[in-house]
Structure 1
């Protein structure tokens, strides 16, 4: 082979190598650009429903009544039962009443407890009933004289026409029922809830939502009524067994933590975005919507981390843990992750980084 042929072959090989290097660099730049564009667009995707349009104050908006029952499930506990109304001529498209409103029991500026409307009928935009329960160890002082306020307010994570979330509150409670026995409270609550079920059925006026039926000797909740009242009042079968045609014989005690108002706000944010459809996907896979959203966000985080390493090489590896922490934080703020999951994984990543710096890095050096 002549020297000219060898030189020509070497030039061809060199050109091929240059082409491969150029291709790899170009692809890395392209992936980096797509990664950055994807993260930027993600901010736009997770927030548009809160910024595209404002929400009006309901046409009918009031805290109708509040009743307090002591010794509902155990001696010394308190059950706050309230009726409220958030009603529109045309329901807002940004979410259900559970997304847009929050009910809070206040002692001056201090929150004692909270709950959200149950969107059972008409997405919750109608007359509704709710409750806040305190066991004997957590129950606030029983104060018939006054001082407490039951407040329904708009979710502050949404934009409201009036600029601030609308508030309606009631400080004069219609009943403070305090008998010495659980059985006395049970009898009084049974009569009252039966009357409220009849009243609610008339207000809703929908043949598909019949809440009360008559069986020999008494009026009981229908399956539709049970589906509503058992959600709004914990342990209802034990508190008022007379409301049911079949009775459960033991209590399922559920302790509540009333200091997670902001966490509830975060959890409601995903429902106001294009990702609300994950609830249907979660149903298909027979898992909770929260776990489905968590799985999806971890997949997104994995793609971002892998793309970062692939696009930037060694520098990308160094910044990958920080990127993962940022993505987990975004996931919690967007309502995809439980805040506790974000905190747990962030702590694990930080601890892993500290261990690497203290031990592994020295051994490598």
Structure 2
């Protein structure tokens, strides 16, 4: 019993009765709340469905990647995780996307970074006071990973010549007459073209067009060695393997349908392979794999990387998937005859000619900032004059 004195009055309360009353009120309130929530969330909050089974043995996480924007281009980089090397000496490879890049070894936009090469390049007015293309002769100039090499002693391309990069990188570059050496300020020494497979010859010629890096050595003689495969009939070469300490990286390729052929000073450069897999090894045991999947799109068709799957000792992370926007800009379905007094192209010389005979070009005919498709005649009636399909600015 509880005795309370309030306002000069004495109250006696039966505690058992009070507790019973409170219990009843709580039960009533909880029941009301439950029924209210059940009506609002009949499944989400109180589903009788069994909970999903979680695979606790699955690998948790995702493949690491970094997104950035540089000089107006979107970049995405996925580093390849390597087994550690002696004194930190290990290759640095990554799969990189750049929105300004074309159809390369990994399809549209994607490429493999971390490789290096010295190659023949052209003279420029800014550097040489004259222009000149590659001719596989003494007039050629040389570039290290696209950076122009400037001779500071000796003659370009002759044995014993020494170079610096046009933009100072504090690297000492020398040509022996057979291969190149590059020394860095950190004490590393690079060899280019000092093995048969790293001397990439011009197709149909016996002249080297590119010297790929074949060895990197640090100050304590720890080394990374690169192995290549060259198809001399196609002018194509691919990295096959990187060896360092007791570890290695091996790359495999697959044939592709969207082959590409270009020419440099009359020599053919073909691209018939596509990177398919990267596998790292420690003591000859597989450690980590990166599997690449592609799709074809467009006419002519082009390769698009759709996913990368990273697996560690047989356990795989969820795939990193890439979704492509494959829509094309839309021109109006119905073209119209354009009044000549409104202006338009006046010279069709050197313009593309279609199978049915008309010429075409892209030009902004109505001043809206969008390129319209202009023909020199109506493709249905063959009526001469500007026939225009206005650009709607929408996606198909």
Q: Normalising by the residue count of structure 1, what TM-score does the alignment of the two structures yield?
A: 0.21
Q: When you count helix as a share of all residues, which structure comes out higher?
A: 1
Rg larger for: 2
Q: When you count strand as a share of all residues, which structure comes out higher?
A: 2
